[in-house]
With several copies, the nearest count.
Chain A
């Protein structure tokens, strides 16, 4: 078993928030067409400080504090992209992306198709997502499945600082619209980030990453659940269970090749996300795995995730969110077949 937590030095350790900031900075340096826009991204540097210092260094024309309206943010970003810019929009919290839903679903996602490929919209929509930070309503949502159902969008989630640093740059240089989910409760997690190394060498943005190799069960996760699942694998190993942990990274398109290969090897699969299980991405994965690995599965694909409720008040959110114990519990159930 290899764990990414192994062999780290303190040197070059960055928080996810800072790593994303460095990634944005690099992208802006490399390409004058890259813009950052959203609410409070300027002087404040964003409520999570992901855009900290960028306005100071790149000016108000490249780092734009917008009026307070999400449809306007995405809609004008589309216009800027039509003019040759590469806007990176920040949606302040997951729950506030819905006013922009129409622009994302009916315009951003479809313009390339509508124009028979004459128009590409290299727009990135950054969304801090997920719970676990003790917030009030609308600040802990996990709406990624809603976007993964929409053809024309790429939907990705980063899981740690090193990946955040590379993936945000890849998203910006991608000619397709990318919905970029950032696990907000992991913003202050630190890992090594190689700022010197180019992103050319980094894993492609649409490829899943096997974080822990194992033989008994495949654990699929992304975003905030990556750390939880790696911890679960460590804990399970003590009980003699060998879990393979895969960070999906790209939720649309899915890297089914990596997923199927793993499940064919382990014979068991558990999908974990914070989003409600009902209607979540786990369903899509379960359906595909069940079909493609039908003769390999020793247990049905199981899912761990939020319940079929609105996100609850924060004092009980720990019961809503899958944690180490809940993940292990579902893994145990997979062994019960």
Chain B
């Protein structure tokens, strides 16, 4: 049996092109909580800004925990945890201006938070009360997209709209689109790379490489570092430490500004790890080793910010307890919101399918209404 292992590199003599450089990881804060500098990514943050990032990280992790608990208790149908990816999401989310547009997958709860979307809206979706149902324009945060990769084309088209609106320039607008390592294999994502490259569209491709696509490790999707994919399409690709909120902020800021100023797309690979299960219905012990998980625990995205805040003396214990208390409050609030969420009216099934009412749908709505009331009257008759 002669099948070669995946990931095997081509023999160098066959490569009529310089070999890809060893992966470079942009990092501005080490796992130990030490500040690092990178010549291309200067970053000046005030203590308040750093504390605000810390607060974001804690809060989104707390929202995630609460949602997992709610799912365990049967209040949500399913939940896709962001555990471990908080820095990638908060760092990139806070790099956006209010007029930028973000296109998420189903896991960008941290980005949603940064955009100002009420987390309860997310719970609606996972509870099965709606398919999302928020107004993307209200927070410039698009609906969650579940079909892998489809949103990359939407973001690219949106960015083409920005061009057509003349909304480029120093104060311009840009789009950012989130997707996973697995998604890079979809035709749609590669078509989005082509469109963005050919039209020079102001869009940033933010790939959270959390090493897994459900049970499939990265080597089922690529044999070279993912950020090199951009080289094949003619735009820059960067790998950033996805557990480093500073680096994610700095790198995304720069890529967004470049996009706004008409310099076209960038692919950012945020190198991170999915600490939890794929979703609450998944069992990762079936396919991955706990040693891997343990090694990533040492790179926790929140702990390093805390260490940095403590060592640099920027924050005292009272700050941390304060944030923790606030997290508890948010947890309680969204739990309450979830429990109080009424089931939708069955007849709402027929709403919002078309802009104009349709005779057929009105007929079906009336049918269902009559059918439902036949039970009511049966019951009343008893």
Contacts and interface: CB of A to CB of B under 8 A. Distances in A.
A159 interface: no
Interface stretch (B188-196, B239-247, B257-265): B188-196
A42 B288 CA distance: 12
Contacts of A313: 128-131, 344
30 contacts: A35-B164, A47-B214, A61-B163, A61-B164, A65-B215, A65-B216, A67-B195, A68-B220, A69-B186, A75-B152, A75-B188, A79-B156, A80-B157, A80-B158, A81-B157, A82-B161, A99-B147, A106-B147, A112-B353, A115-B135, A116-B352, A117-B352, A136-B131, A278-B360, A307-B349, A307-B350, A308-B361, A309-B349, A310-B131, A319-B368
A72 B153 contact: yes
Interface string A303-315: 0000111101111
A95 interface: yes
A136 B188 contact: no
B102 to A, nearest CB: 12
A309 B354 CA distance: 10
Nearest to B364: A307
Interface residues of B, number: 84
A102 B215 contact: no
Contacts of A85: 161, 164
Interface string A111-135: 1111111111000000000000011
Given A96-B147, A103-B153, A307-B364, A316 B220 contact: no
A39 B143 contact: no
A134 B77 contact: yes
Contact of B78 (A103, A136, A253): A136
Interface residues of A, number: 78
A71 interface: yes
A118 B136 contact: yes
Nearest to A45: B286
A120 B355 contact: yes
Given A40-B216, A117-B351, A316-B343, A71 B153 contact: yes
Contacts of B21: none
A174 B354 CA distance: 10
Interface of A: 35, 39-40, 42-45, 47, 60-61, 65-69, 71-72, 74-85, 95-96, 98-99, 102-103, 106-107, 110-120, 134-138, 151-152, 154, 174-176, 253-254, 256-257, 278, 307-310, 312-317, 319-320, 326, 329
B323 interface: no
Nearest to B132: A114
Contacts of B183: 68
B218 to A, nearest CB: 11
Given A71-B153, A112-B355, A319-B349, A82 B158 contact: yes
Nearest to A310: B353
Given A40-B216, A113-B131, A176 B356 contact: yes
B353 A329 contact: no
Interface string B185-218: 1111001101100100000000000000111100
Given A115-B133, A307-B368, A316-B344, A82 B154 contact: yes
Given A61-B164, A115-B132, A78 B157 contact: yes
A163 to B, nearest CB: 20
Contacts of A135: 77-78, 128
Contacts of A102: 147, 150, 188
A15 B364 CA distance: 36
B154 A44 contact: no
B127 interface: yes
Given A68-B183, A75-B188, A76-B195, A176 B354 contact: yes
A315 B127 contact: yes
Contact of A82 (B1, B126, B136): B136
B355 A79 contact: no
A59 to B, nearest CB: 8
Contacts of A66: 195, 220
Given A65-B216, A76-B192, A308-B358, 16 more contacts: A42-B216, A44-B215, A66-B220, A67-B194, A79-B157, A82-B136, A82-B142, A85-B164, A113-B353, A114-B131, A118-B135, A136-B131, A253-B359, A308-B364, A316-B346, A316-B348
Interface in B333-375: 343-346, 348-356, 358-361, 364, 368, 371-372
Contact of B133 (A116, A257, A317): A116
B165 interface: yes
B147 A79 contact: no
